[in-house]
Structure 1
Amino acid sequence: MQRTGEGQRVLVVDDEPAITELLSTTLDLAGYRVSTVGSGQAALHAVANERPDLVILDVMLPDMDGFALCRRMTEGGHTPPILFLTARGSIEDMVTGLRIGGDDYVTKPFHVLELLARVHALLRRSGKATGQVLRSADLTLDETRFQAARGGQPIELTPTEYKLLRYLMVNAGQVMTKEQILHHVWQHEFGEGVVEKLVSRLRHKIDAGRSPLIHTVRGFGYRIAEL
């Protein structure tokens, strides 16, 4: 399976265990960070606290109609793209879902490759996928030019350094473990020392003589400061 994700957070709201297991496994393999909840109230709590980059939402939930939940989410301060994934496939339901704030509407049964393509498209349109300029304080990473700069001064990076910096910036504020970095940057099993050496080289280029942006969280991993 092609890895289209770069660690973006996806919240799956569905009370069918088979669906949540399928989506969680599929999206995780595609490179996304996935959390699942089975009720509307749990979804509201997750959106407020986890601030997902995208929500996959069923219409038929045990405690709340998915359309009503969508309205409540779009009224809040953090409004991620919403992809309805439901067995209710009438034109009227589809129109309702899109009219009240949904960004896409997929009916069950569905093909996982189509769903992944729609997820990637929604994240791209929302600026959470490739092709944007990532920022952390005065550090920028232009994904179209593969160019980093701090304070307007270009920083030359190797492809591996670029990949690590991008991974940290996409997940700004989040702690990335050495295991996650190993899997994302190399997709092979190496000793943890290789991560430490790469982070050290990147720090020398990014933070030398400046306020540090890359931080070590001892016993856990590394994070880069948020915007």
Structure 2
Amino acid sequence: MNRRIYILEDDPDIGHILHYFLTEEGFEVELFSSVDKCQHALNKKLPDLCLFDIMLPDGDGITICNHLKEENNEVPVILMSAGEKPSSVYQNSHADIFISKPFDLDFLLSNINKLIAEAA
């Protein structure tokens, strides 16, 4: 059974790269460009892991991360951003991991695999 990852990313280029890369690595990936669409999907079915951008046009990844963690703390969440400091993200969110953009895809993959293994 493939592990399901929800990606919330408003930049179409980054979203496409992440979707393609993680699909090629064997994950079932759903890509969302808005907080509203992602929240709707989370209300229907929880993934094995979430990868949320922080700065979004209709909200922010920290808020949706914290809401998800209050509802179900077992779903690992990785937050990513080019404009946030790690200390601020960890202080204001319940994210499992924060990754600064730009990031290495192999580094991202190793963190995804680690979190999914820990949650299993």
TM-score normalised to structure 2 length: 0.91
Task: Give the drift of 1:78.
Answer: 7.0
- Partner Cα distance (1:112, 1:40) in 2: 23
Is 1:86 aligned with 2:84?
no
Task: Determine the structure 2 residue equivalent to 1:123.
Answer: 116
CA deviation string 1:168-198 (max 9, x = no partner):
xxxxxxxxxxxxxxxxxxxxxxxxxxxxxxx
Is 1:33 aligned with 2:24?
no
Confirm or deny: 8 A CA contact 1:73 1:79 kept in the other structure: no
> Hey, which bits of structure 1, 4+ residues long, moved more than 4 A?
none
Task: Determine the structure 1 residue equivalent to 2:3.
Answer: 8
**Secondary structure of the structure 2 residue equivalent to 1:56:** strand
- Partner Cα distance (1:96, 1:88) in 2: 15
User: Does 32-41 or 67-76 show the bigger shift?
Assistant: 67-76
CA deviation string 1:100-154 (max 9, x = no partner):
3100010100111110000000000001xxxxxxxxxxxxxxxxxxxxxxxxxxx
- Partner Cα distance (2:85, 2:69) in 1: 23
Match of 2:90 among 95, 109, 117: 95
State how many pairs are aligned. Answer: 120
Higher relative contact order (CA 8 A, sep 6+): 2
- Partner Cα distance (1:79, 1:41) in 2: 22
Task: Determine the structure 2 residue equivalent to 1:74.
Answer: 69
Q: Identity, % of aligned pairs?
A: 27
Matches within 5 A, 1:84-163: 84-96=79-91, 100-127=93-120
**Secondary structure of the structure 2 residue equivalent to 1:88:** coil
**Secondary structure of the structure 2 residue equivalent to 1:23:** helix
Q: 1:120 to 1:83 in 2, by over 3 A?
A: same
- Partner Cα distance (1:115, 1:67) in 2: 18
Task: Determine the structure 2 residue equivalent to 1:191.
Answer: none
CA deviation string 1:49-108 (max 9, x = no partner):
1311000001001111221111211122475110012112414333235xx310001010
**Secondary structure of the structure 1 residue equivalent to 2:117:** helix
**Secondary structure of the structure 2 residue equivalent to 1:52:** coil
**Secondary structure of the structure 2 residue equivalent to 1:80:** coil
- Partner Cα distance (1:55, 1:24) in 2: 12
Is 1:19 aligned with 2:14?
yes
Confirm or deny: 8 A CA contact 1:14 1:36 kept in the other structure: yes
Confirm or deny: 8 A CA contact 2:86 2:98 kept in the other structure: no
Structural RMSD (CA): 1.6
Is 1:57 aligned with 2:52?
yes
Larger Rg: 1
TM-score normalised to structure 1 length: 0.50
Letter in 1 for 2:61: G
Q: 1:124 to 1:79 in 2, by over 3 A?
A: closer
**Secondary structure of the structure 2 residue equivalent to 1:36:** strand
- Partner Cα distance (1:79, 1:104) in 2: 14
Structure 2: 5+ residue runs without aligned partners?
A: none
- Partner Cα distance (1:87, 1:58) in 2: 9
